[in-house]
Amino acid sequence: MAEHNEIGKQGEKAAVEYLLQNNYEILEQNYQARKAEIDIIARKDNWLIVIEVKTRTSVDYGNPEDFVNKKKIKLLVKAIDEYVQETNLDLEIRFDIIAIIKKNEVHTIEHLVDAFYYF
């Protein structure tokens, strides 16, 4: 596996651990729909939460959350729409970003709640 893929997987693992520690229920990981993948679909209270995880080893080229562009947002929206239709869940939808900076074995996690709006 390429190094950047491994860093991404480590970041997703750290994000799941963080979410579980903060009382989120993980419904799906790496949910595939059409041409999109949702890193994590979680539930907390009455929210269905789409979580995009971005992991970087430095901020030299920008913060991790800066790499969620309009195209990615559109794909996430299509994917969660498909998921909701499959599962018949009737919850409010929220889009979060978990931005992770990984230096050596230390992960610095920033959880951006309601990172963007689409509806």
Structural domains for the chain: 3-112 (3.40.1350.10)
The CA dihedral of 91, 113, 21, 23, to the nearest 10 degrees, is -20
pTM over 0.85: yes
Burial class, 29, CB count within 10 angstroms (exposed 0-12 / middle 13-18 / buried 19+): middle
- Percent with pLDDT over 90 in the chain: 61
Q: In what order do the strands lie in the sheet with 106-112?
A: 25-33, 36-44, 47-56, 92-103, 106-112
Q: Sign of dihedral through CA atoms 5, 114, 38, 31?
A: positive
Res 17 pLDDT > 70? yes
Alpha-carbon distance of 117 to 26, in angstroms, equals: 21
